[in-house]
Chain A
Amino acid sequence: SQQGEEDPQALSIQEGENATMNCSYKTSINNLQWYRQNSGRGLVHLILIRSNEREKHSGRLRVTLDTSKKSSSLLITASRAADTASYFCATAAEGTYKYIFGTGTRLKVLA
């Protein structure tokens, strides 16, 4: 079964709006990572948040981590058409490097 599950499965917003997607996981983790995948392309690492961190920023990205709820959220502010992609969270149980990816959130930003 998937360690991470993203929610929603699909999201459609207008350019300039913010996009929020969530990830839930099942076990204690060392870190949680978010990746982006454009259609037909490889995955690109966006941001990593460690288990002892609660919030992290990178440009227009903001990630939060709640280890008590085993959940994370990714916020993309002021979205652009170029942000249209699938977004995945990835986690590995503590003590392993067996990264499990969720099924992803498909984001569509309309110009």
Chain B
Amino acid sequence: DTGVSQDPRHKITKRGQNVTFRCDPISEHNRLYWYRQTLGQGPEFLTYFQNEAQLEKSRLLSDRFSAERPKGSFSTLEIQRTEQGDSAMYLCASSLYGDEQYFGPGTRLTVT
């Protein structure tokens, strides 16, 4: 257990529905990252926060994806109008000053 928690651990949804995932980082960590990982691939960067500011966002993130980190604590990742191609493991990680990242267990999304 790295101290980073994610909820839910598994989510099955129908195509077209909206889903929201939550990440609780290690409390003193100022940086928070979201990644997406599909089978056999490495994590793919989605977005990154420093405190409450979203500083970088991948071009992979379409308008259907949005992330927030209110008050610089927990973060949420929302996917609107889900598509089958969104099926993946969504990983959250946190770090202090951009160095080693501590990953949560991930949320596995299945879009049917």
List chain A positions with a Cβ less than 8 A from chain B. 2, 4, 30-31, 33, 35, 41-45, 48, 88, 90, 92, 96-104
Contacts and interface: CB of A to CB of B under 8 A. Distances in A.
Interface residues on B, range: 20 to 34
A42 B2 contact: yes
A38 B59 CA distance: 29
B103 A43 contact: yes
A99 B42 CA distance: 11
A29 B53 CA distance: 23
B101 A99 contact: yes
A31 B99 CA distance: 8
Contact of B103 (A4, A42, A92): A42
B45 A98 contact: yes
B28 interface: no
A58 to B, nearest CB: 11
A4 to B, nearest CB: 8
B43 A101 contact: yes
B103 A97 contact: no
A97 B56 contact: yes
B58 A42 contact: no
B104 interface: yes
Contacts of A92: 98
A103 to B, nearest CB: 5
A33 B100 contact: yes
